[in-house]
Amino acid sequence: MTARKSAKPAAKSKPAAKVKTGPLFEKILIANRGEIACRVIKSCKRLGIKTVAVYSDADRDALHVKMADEAVHIGPPASAQSYLLIERIVEACKKTGAQAVHPGYGFLSEKQDFQKALAKAGITFIGPDAHAMHAMGDKIESKKLAKAAGVSTVPGYLGVIKDADEAVKIAKGIGYPVMVKASAGGGGKGMRVAWNDAECRDGFRSATAEAKSSFADDRVFVEKFIEEPRHIEIQVLADRHGTALYLGERECSIQRRHQKVIEEAPSPFLDAKTRKAMGEQAVALARAVNYVSAGTVEFIVDAKRNFYFLEMNTRLQVEHPVTEKITGLDLVEWMIRVAAGEKLPMKQADIKLNGWAIESRVYAEDPFRNFLPSTGRLVRYQPPMETDSVRVDTGVYEGGEISMFYDPMIAKLITYGKNRSEAIGAMRAALDRFYIRGVSHNIPFLASLMNKPRFVEGRLSTNFIAEEYKNGFNAQDLPPEDPAVLAAVAASVHFAGALRNAQISGQMPGHEMKVGSDWVVKLGEASYPVSICAVEGGWDVVLDGKKLPVRAPGWTLGQPLFEGTVAGRSVFVQIDRRQVGWRMFHAGTQADVMVYTALQAKMAALMPKKAPPDMSKYLLSPMPGLLVSLAVKDGQEIKAGEELAVVEAMKMMNILRAERDGSVKKIHTQAGASLAVDQIIVEFA
């Protein structure tokens, strides 16, 4: 393990005066990585506290390492050999003189052994003590405690289940559908919904494997799956002096594979009476275990606003920024202050919820390929500019790499408005401005969600995505967009390029180039005749006889983000120059655009189209990852639905099954191999 001074961050935030209102720490180590490590470092810098980052081999050049004052290497890429090793973190604290540790979320954030090890070494853990972690961090034990305290809980079996047969027996007793959940789970891992015996057996096996891989704890339990539920959580904050507060709620119902995608505060569903009841119950639960620090009590809420305790997360939540936006509180700062022994100066009556905030999780995954993870280098990375209404929490930078070893999150995009409609509008615009190249990302899906009528109306449930995207996500799910907008922008960009080329050629006598003004814009399968002329601050485009003024006074040719107005409407269009034409992105939609003369358009229509190769005889790896197991061999007969292989990527187990009956001609790789996306695993006869 080696320590080194880190490089300066690529972009500095404005320095703030050092706060000396309490016995705060001089140096804090952040036992995490990615965006949450960067987030904690920002608050520490504002408070005048020095920071120490830890990093694995894969994170040697990570942003959190660059931002921290010091950095300590703790091991190989696999988290089990680095970020999850308690002794490495304690040693790093001793080496650097860090007085306290902020665990972020995930990894060791809810491990009582970690808190105990730090306490033994005389190092402060910025979070609850081991007793509270044990009582509330374990899903099984927390439900028992909540039930004993009179808190409404979801019907289920709270004992540890030994095998799939017992899981099926319990599920039948509760009644399908049921949820099979890892006791130490989180982040959507180790969770499966089962509607019958077969799914229960599969779910038990998958949840157990994921739990063991992600949390080194393979215990699972079964509870009733409530249909048409909402996932609403209460943020609590408590100190060592008897003050415990609830800071409003967060609506986290938009989930995919039990992992949150969109979060907002407040909830569009709760009324003041229910909010108060949930908040008071959350505080009572926190008091029952003498909870100290920030924590979250999660509830499932039915259509009649009946709520049931799910679990308590004894740490900072991924979605904490939306609470910060509507309360004006820095939760990381208050975690640090409470850990340093300060008393909370607020009372419950002082907590006011102002405005509306929404968070979108931007992931490196391909929504058009069933959200499979994407890895690689961020060739271009340009998040939207931060303002009072836009916040970006990120742990990556242009030129950095999205690794296969960790969560695929690129950033959290948070927008704020005085009401929900404003926050949604700000999110739509911010998504259009978020420029990412080099890896696939889910921004098209997020843009689609923001435009779903059900979402806009606030009619949410944890089944939202499954119900709104019954056949998976595809281009038809993108928000309908007036093609005239992209056609007008394409004509304007083409004109700007042609004018520049004409100016260059005019410098060589005899090579002057005439700029045309009448073209055909081909957008997908549609064609639009246009004429154009330059005016002050932009262009006047006539499309099919309709005048569309395009104005973009701040845009210059070559900039990837076209920001301006079309017919008075504000638009943000991402533009990638291709060998021929452009690829444009707007409102989640991707379009290949060509601008032709009338003759060129006529000739282009006659060009033959190349048919893609037939790959139906191969089982391809749908993502980069580890081939955990192969269930077939050369020459074996297979049936539709039969398991062929299991691929693990970013701690998620993906079972690949046969689509039809047939036989195996050849196995092209072996268990334990690292696979690239679309790599051949099995060839069929």
Catalytic residues: 311
**Number of other residues whose CB lies within 10 A of the CB of residue 297:** 28
How far apart, in whole angstroms, are the C-alpha atoms of residue 452 and residue 458?
Answer: 10
The pair phi, psi for residue 451, each rounded to 5°, is -105, 0
Q: Please report which residue ranges of 138-265 form alpha helices under DSSP H.
A: 139-148, 164-174, 197-215
Q: Is residue 236 a contact partner of residue 282, using CB atoms and an 8 Å limit?
A: yes
How far apart, in whole angstroms, are the C-alpha atoms of residue 496 and residue 503?
Answer: 11
> DSSP characters for 188-207?
TEEEEEESSHHHHHHHHHHH
Q: Is the peptide bond before 23 cis (omega within 30 degrees of 0)?
A: no
Strand residue runs (E) in 26-144 = 27-30, 50-56, 70-75, 100-102, 124-125
How far apart, in whole angstroms, are the C-alpha atoms of residue 254 and residue 578?
Answer: 36
The pair phi, psi for residue 40, each rounded to 5°, is -65, -40
Token couple for 444: 């098209």
Token couple for 492: 């304007």
Token match 């990556």: residue? 396
How far from 505 is each of 499, 580, 619, CA to CA, in Å? 10, 20, 53
Strand 356-363 to strand 307-313: parallel, antiparallel, or no bridges (unpaired)? unpaired
The residues that bridge with 362 in the sheet, in sequence order, are 411
Q: Which of 30, 33, 77 is nearest to 396 (CA)?
A: 33
3-state class (DSSP) for residue 168: helix
Q: Is residue 118 a contact partner of residue 90, using CB atoms and an 8 Å limit?
A: yes
How far apart, in whole angstroms, are the C-alpha atoms of residue 189 and residue 194?
Answer: 15
Helix/strand/coil percentages in the chain, nearest 5: 30, 30, 40
Cα dihedral value 542, 543, 547, 550, nearest 10: -80
Q: Is residue 40 a contact partner of residue 104, using CB atoms and an 8 Å limit?
A: yes
Token couple for 349: 């009556």
3-state class (DSSP) for residue 253: strand
Token couple for 269: 């569903």
How far from 270 is each of 186, 213, 280, 673, CA to CA, in Å? 25, 37, 14, 49
How far apart, in whole angstroms, are the C-alpha atoms of residue 36 and residue 630?
Answer: 36
Q: Which of 262, 312, 630 is nearest to 446 (CA)?
A: 262
How far apart, in whole angstroms, are the C-alpha atoms of residue 41 and residue 525?
Answer: 49
Cα dihedral value 655, 661, 666, 670, nearest 10: 10
The pair phi, psi for residue 576, each rounded to 5°, is -115, 125
Q: Please report which residue ranges of 234-271 form alpha helices under DSSP H.
A: none
Backbone CA torsion sign across 628, 629, 634, 638: negative
> DSSP characters for 344-355?
P---GGG----S
